[in-house]
Amino acid sequence: MEKWVEQFTEGAFLTSLFMIVGQVLLAIIAFIIARSIGKKVISGSFKKVENQKNMSPGRVKTLEKLSINAFSYVLIFVFITIMISIFGLDPTGLIAGAGVVGLAIGFGAQGLVSDVVTGFFLLLEKQIDVDDYVTTGGVDGVVEEVGLRTTKIRGFDGTLHYIPNRGISNVSNHSRGNMRALVDISISYEDNIDEAITVLQTVCDKIAAEDNTIKEGPNVLGVQGLGNSDVVIRVIAKTENMQQWAVERKLRKVLKEALVANNIEIPYPHQILIQKNSQ
């Protein structure tokens, strides 16, 4: 009799264990499927919004990533609640207890609350969007994600910076409106300044007709400075966002070639070798 009871107890235990393991596996599979479907639905919804051109692409990407972020937090909370129920615990009591504990440690979570509130106002006031070139928190780069707690900025050296939202006290957004391309180029004191300006402006007009990323100019402003051995002439243009550096590189190349073609000297250091013959 005792052996039968023992075998029955062991069998019931194994059955219960298998049921729990099966429920855990089902919960994990359901979590993975729900997360995948949820992300696809959110991404699809925002693609429709982008196609309708109701918002800028950067704004759409920002809200899409934020929505996925929030959805993930909610899904994780639901998953944890289900796991607690599987093991026979009362999730209501635990949630209530967590609320009391959360209230107790609330003063220690002020940084987290500040992150969320700051992130909310960043989005509400449209200070930054995904793909914007910004300077904030001592970092400059391109925004990759604006989250509930942190903002991700990719530096131009490839480094990904995670900045807590509360650390974003001020933002310099370089992607709002046209950007400025500025090039200073030097000629020698012996060359004719008016002739050099005419040559440079002719080339600038040609570039403006060929390059659609240039929105205004390029214009030769005139003499910007007088160096020890050169006269500095400034050229300026307005370009599309993030195209200013490419335009500057192109300007430096064609302006240099134009000066050389017109026999206008670009000063550079010279070395004079004096050889003294000893008797």
Going from the C-alpha of 216 to that of each of 185, 199, 213, the distances in angstroms are 19, 19, 9
Tokens of 229: 């051995």
pLDDT attached to residue 116: 66
Q: For residue 104, with 0-12 CB atoms within 10 Å meaning exposed, 13-18 middle and 19 or more buried, which class applies?
A: exposed
3-class secondary structure per residue, 169-201: CCEEECCCCCEEEEEEEEECCCCCHHHHHHHHH
Q: Report how far residue 195's alpha carbon sits from residue 178's, in angstroms, rounded to the nearest whole number.
A: 30
Does the global pTM surpass 0.85? no
Q: Using alpha carbons, select from 125, 211, 212, 237 the residue that is nearest to residue 173.
A: 125
Among 16, 24, 13, 30, residue whose Cα is nearest residue 86:
24
* Residue that has been written with the tokens 């929030």 in this structure: 70
pLDDT of residue 3: 45
pLDDT score of 168: 79
What pLDDT is recorded for position 91?
58
Kind plus residue range of the DSSP H or E element containing 231: strand 231-239
pLDDT at 234: 92
Query: So what's the pLDDT on residue 5?
Result: 42
Instruction: Determine the straight-line distance between the first and last CA of the chain, rounded to whole angstroms.
Output: 127
Cβ 185 vs Cβ 191: under 8 Å: no
One-letter amino acid at 214 equals I
pLDDT, one tens digit for every residue, the chain (279 residues): 444 445 445 556 566 667 777 777 887 887 788 788 877 777 777 666 666 655 556 666 666 776 777 777 777 777 777 777 776 666 565 555 555 445 444 544 556 666 666 766 676 667 788 888 888 878 888 888 877 778 888 888 888 988 887 777 788 888 777 888 898 988 888 888 888 889 899 989 888 888 888 888 899 888 888 888 888 889 999 888 888 888 889 999 999 988 888 888 888 765 666 666 655
Are 197 and 188 in contact by the 8 Å Cβ rule? The answer is no
| pLDDT for position 105 | 47
Q: Which residue in 278, 205, 204, 201 sits closest to 248, CA to CA? A: 204
C-beta of residue 186 within 8 angstroms of C-beta of residue 232? yes
Map out the domains of the chain with their CATH numbers.
2-104 (1.10.287.1260), 113-173 (2.30.30.60), 179-261 (3.30.70.100)
**Nearest CA among 117, 116, 118, 131 for reference residue 170:** 118
Omega of the bond leading into 91 within 30 degrees of 0 (cis): no
